A and B are shown apart, each in its own frame.
Chain A
Amino acid sequence: MTFIKLQTPRGTKDYLPPEVEQRRYVEQKLTEAFESWGYQEIRSPAIELVEVLSTGVGSELIDSMFKFQDFDGKIVALRAEMTAPVARIVTAKMLEAPMPIRLFYISNVFRYSQSYLEREREFWQAGVELIGCNTPEADGEVLSLLVSSLMKLGLEGVRIDIGHAGLLKDLLRATGLEKEKKDVLQNLLGYRDEDRLEEFMDQNNFSPDLKEVFLRLSRCRRLEELSSALLKMSEYGRTDDYLRALVEVNDALADYGAENFVFFDFSLVRKIEYYTGIVFEASVPNLGLPLGGGGRYDNLIEKFGKLKIPATGFALEIEKCLQALTAQGCQLSEKPKVKVLVASRFRDLAIKAANSIRGAGIAALLDITRRSKKEIVRYAKCSGIDYVVFVDSSLKKPAAIYDIRLDTVKNMTIKGFLQSVEADQK
């Protein structure tokens, strides 16, 4: 127990500079992508009232929240996802804003994993919410933005699989089965075990029509093929409307040039309950877990107030994006930036030199150790510094400049040095 002071709580971790750099790269690329589509960033507290965070998300997520009691007796929790907080913000503070509203966030979220698989309990999500619109264009925009963001990260083989929360629900209801059997049926669809699916439908006296519908939908991979499934199925709740909506989304995707990235998956379900329309998941071939996902939630925002406002969005896990990029061998940073260490017996001159280097847009560190030249160079070698500049008694005089990588020394003025670094970078 001596080492307990050195640990972080289970499922949390520190991010050291090299990892932060990689994460920053992913966050920046995603921010650029979201902003270029006109999305604006919001932030919200990590702690919220449990009533807010629990609205519409379903018991599984509620169970996974870190909850505790505030001093005034109210129960608060760490946010487990960002859509409910965004719904609260929109209802409380943005109702005057013209719809549609386009928002994005990059936030840490917290989930207490009850499974014995030790998952991270704090992780980062980057996501968007498109609020106040339920057109196929809105779904098309969010899906296309998802594809475009992942490609901007440099990922290859990006693929989105989409299902429909309402379609599956209505068809399960149309079977007339009791709850337990519906669960079995949904499991079989998720298993993609066609033999047992057929066996189950035969045992439970499905009409040939309904059987055909389930088989056809579970085999269908392309959205455009859904239009052919349409005519036959008018008697099963709103399924026809949902299918038509999916086909319309596909038409919109075609105009975005994104239809070849998007596939249909009848069995796709999301663990969070508020979805009402399309639901989707993003993946790449080299990573066995989805990068993130989302969907349409037209009934969530009204649960915060009285106004029914349709909305759709997605969230990506930064960690998964990083894993995918690493698996694909992608470069995870911009061109490395040059770092210069400035040292001198004359402190005022060293500070002046460092400032002028910083002024030229190059990172400059000042030697503050009063070490010997030899020790300073040794420190530079171990610290990822590119040059050490030893300033003489005047800034006009040439300074001794150590190129750490080449292990050479040149005498140059600061001005001349800056020009040569600039030339190198080009």
Chain B
Amino acid sequence: MKRRIRIAIPSKGRLSQPSIQALQDAGINVRRKERTYVSETSDSRFEAVFARAFDVPIYIQYGAADLGLTGHDVMLEREADVHELLDLGFGKSRLVVAVPENSAINSIYDIPAVARVATEYPNLCRKYFDGFGKQVEILVVRGTAELAPRLGLAQIIVDITETGETLRRNKLKVIAAILDSSCRLACNRIAYRVFESEINELLDKLRSGGTLTK
């Protein structure tokens, strides 16, 4: 009945390399090979799959992966019913509402009755604006939300920012923060039951692996 424990890792983007590093610090070296779906690791109990950071929560919730590393923001956006076992400390970022620097909008309350928001996070975005009674039109974009105001696609964006550099470069200012995020180790609820001892061992190693800044 015992099989390998499958860990989903972001295949690219800002969380990919630190995730591989965190696992390595915890004694799991991922041997990533091109054109293979499942990668072996130095610990024969674990195997790795690479997936888009946005898809990792789905992989975990449905048990296609037992464990996975991805942002808390993505986990909430995908409404994943999973355990978030550990805050890995890296990938600290903030989901913010931003508008062009020269915009008259300086807070959520200044948002006009008719406004378009470009975002990769339609779910969190909808909930946030609903909370303020703001009826905004939400446009789902993939990747480059920060271009939307310049191209006239939307007056407002909701996007993730680490240092604020990209926003500044695109002449955008932050008017509100929706949530703080960082990379988490998430776990399928049933896999946690099956592999509790192995997973706890991994948690201990991740805690002492030096990756955690806390």
Q: How far is the CA of A193 from the CA of B183 in the complex (A)?
A: 13
Q: How far is the CA of A289 from the CA of B62 in the complex (A)?
A: 6
Please indicate the chain A residues that have their CB under 8 angstroms from the CB of B79 in the complex.
115
- Whether the pair A283, B190 counts as a contact (CB closer than 8 A) is yes
The verdict on A117 contacting B58 (CB below 8 Å), with A192-B83, A221-B196, A288-B63 known, is yes
Is A191 located at the chain interface by the 8 A CB criterion? yes
- Whether the pair A193, B58 counts as a contact (CB closer than 8 A) is no
Within 8 A of A (CB), among B86-116: 86-87
- Whether the pair B1, A157 counts as a contact (CB closer than 8 A) is yes
- Whether the pair B193, A283 counts as a contact (CB closer than 8 A) is yes
Task: Find B85's partner among A117, A191, A221, A288 (CB 8 Å cutoff).
Answer: A191
Q: How far is the CA of A265 from the CA of B193 in the complex (A)?
A: 10
- Whether the pair A196, B87 counts as a contact (CB closer than 8 A) is yes
The verdict on A288 contacting B1 (CB below 8 Å), with A117-B58, A192-B83 known, is no
* Distance from B190 Cβ to chain A, minimum over Cβ atoms (Å): 5
Q: How far is the CA of A283 from the CA of B189 in the complex (A)?
A: 10
Query: Counting chain B CB atoms within 10 Å of each CB, which of A156, A159, A192, A289 scores highest?
Result: A192
- Whether the pair A288, B83 counts as a contact (CB closer than 8 A) is no
The verdict on A287 contacting B193 (CB below 8 Å), with A156-B1, A191-B85 known, is no
Minimum CB distance partner of B83 in chain A: A192
- Whether the pair A288, B191 counts as a contact (CB closer than 8 A) is yes
The verdict on A191 contacting B190 (CB below 8 Å), with A285-B1, A288-B62, A288-B64 known, is no
- Whether the pair B190, A193 counts as a contact (CB closer than 8 A) is no
Please indicate the chain B residues that have their CB under 8 angstroms from the CB of A263 in the complex.
193
Within 8 A of A (CB), among B179-203: 187-194, 196
- Whether the pair B188, A193 counts as a contact (CB closer than 8 A) is no
Is B84 located at the chain interface by the 8 A CB criterion? yes
Minimum CB distance partner of B185 in chain A: A193
Please indicate the chain B residues that have their CB under 8 angstroms from the CB of A361 in the complex.
none
Please indicate the chain B residues that have their CB under 8 angstroms from the CB of A221 in the complex.
196
Please indicate the chain B residues that have their CB under 8 angstroms from the CB of A348 in the complex.
none
Interface residues on A, range: 20 to 34
Is B70 located at the chain interface by the 8 A CB criterion? no
Over the window 260-287 of chain A, the binary record of Cβ atoms lying under 8 Å from chain B Cβ atoms (1 yes, 0 no) is: 0001010000000000000000011101
Minimum CB distance partner of B84 in chain A: A191
Chain A binding surface, main DSSP class: loop
Q: How far is the CA of A115 from the CA of B78 in the complex (A)?
A: 9
Is B61 located at the chain interface by the 8 A CB criterion? yes
- Whether the pair B190, A287 counts as a contact (CB closer than 8 A) is yes
Minimum CB distance partner of A285 in chain B: B194
- Whether the pair B58, A289 counts as a contact (CB closer than 8 A) is no
Within 8 A of A (CB), among B45-87: 58, 60-64, 66, 79, 83-87
Please indicate the chain A residues that have their CB under 8 angstroms from the CB of B64 in the complex.
288
Q: How far is the CA of A161 from the CA of B196 in the complex (A)?
A: 14
Please indicate the chain A residues that have their CB under 8 angstroms from the CB of B66 in the complex.
288
Over the window 25-68 of chain A, the binary record of Cβ atoms lying under 8 Å from chain B Cβ atoms (1 yes, 0 no) is: 00000000000000000000000000000000000000000000
Q: How far is the CA of A196 from the CA of B214 in the complex (A)?
A: 11
Over the window 99-120 of chain A, the binary record of Cβ atoms lying under 8 Å from chain B Cβ atoms (1 yes, 0 no) is: 0000000000000000111000
Is A180 located at the chain interface by the 8 A CB criterion? no
Minimum CB distance partner of B65 in chain A: A288
Task: Find B190's partner among A156, A196, A290 (CB 8 Å cutoff).
Answer: A290
- Whether the pair A288, B87 counts as a contact (CB closer than 8 A) is no
Is A190 located at the chain interface by the 8 A CB criterion? yes
- Whether the pair B86, A289 counts as a contact (CB closer than 8 A) is no
Query: Counting chain A CB atoms within 10 Å of each CB, which of B3, B60, B83, B190 scores highest?
Result: B190
- Whether the pair A287, B63 counts as a contact (CB closer than 8 A) is yes
* Distance from A67 Cβ to chain B, minimum over Cβ atoms (Å): 22
Minimum CB distance partner of B75 in chain A: A191
Is A195 located at the chain interface by the 8 A CB criterion? yes
- Whether the pair B83, A289 counts as a contact (CB closer than 8 A) is no
- Whether the pair A192, B193 counts as a contact (CB closer than 8 A) is no
* Distance from A352 Cβ to chain B, minimum over Cβ atoms (Å): 54
The verdict on A161 contacting B85 (CB below 8 Å), with A288-B62, A288-B64, A289-B63 known, is no
- Whether the pair A192, B58 counts as a contact (CB closer than 8 A) is no
- Whether the pair B190, A195 counts as a contact (CB closer than 8 A) is no
Task: Find A193's partner among B1, B60, B86, B194 (CB 8 Å cutoff).
Answer: B86
Please indicate the chain A residues that have their CB under 8 angstroms from the CB of B187 in the complex.
192
Over the window 114-144 of chain B, the binary record of Cβ atoms lying under 8 Å from chain A Cβ atoms (1 yes, 0 no) is: 0000000001000000000000000000000
- Whether the pair A191, B83 counts as a contact (CB closer than 8 A) is yes
Minimum CB distance partner of A284 in chain B: B190
Minimum CB distance partner of A159 in chain B: B193
Q: How far is the CA of A263 from the CA of B191 in the complex (A)?
A: 14
Ordered nearest first, which 4 A-B pairs have the shortest CB separation?
A: A288-B63, A191-B84, A192-B83, A285-B194
Given contacts A192-B84, A221-B196, 19 further A-B contacts (CB under 8 A): A116-B123, A157-B194, A161-B193, A192-B85, A192-B187, A192-B192, A193-B84, A193-B85, A193-B86, A195-B87, A195-B214, A265-B193, A283-B190, A284-B190, A285-B190, A287-B190, A288-B63, A289-B61, A289-B62
Q: What are 28 A-B contacts defined by CB distance under 8 Å?
A: A115-B79, A117-B58, A156-B1, A157-B1, A190-B83, A191-B83, A191-B84, A191-B85, A192-B83, A192-B85, A192-B187, A193-B83, A193-B85, A193-B87, A195-B207, A195-B214, A263-B193, A265-B193, A283-B193, A285-B190, A287-B63, A287-B190, A288-B62, A288-B64, A288-B188, A288-B189, A288-B190, A290-B189
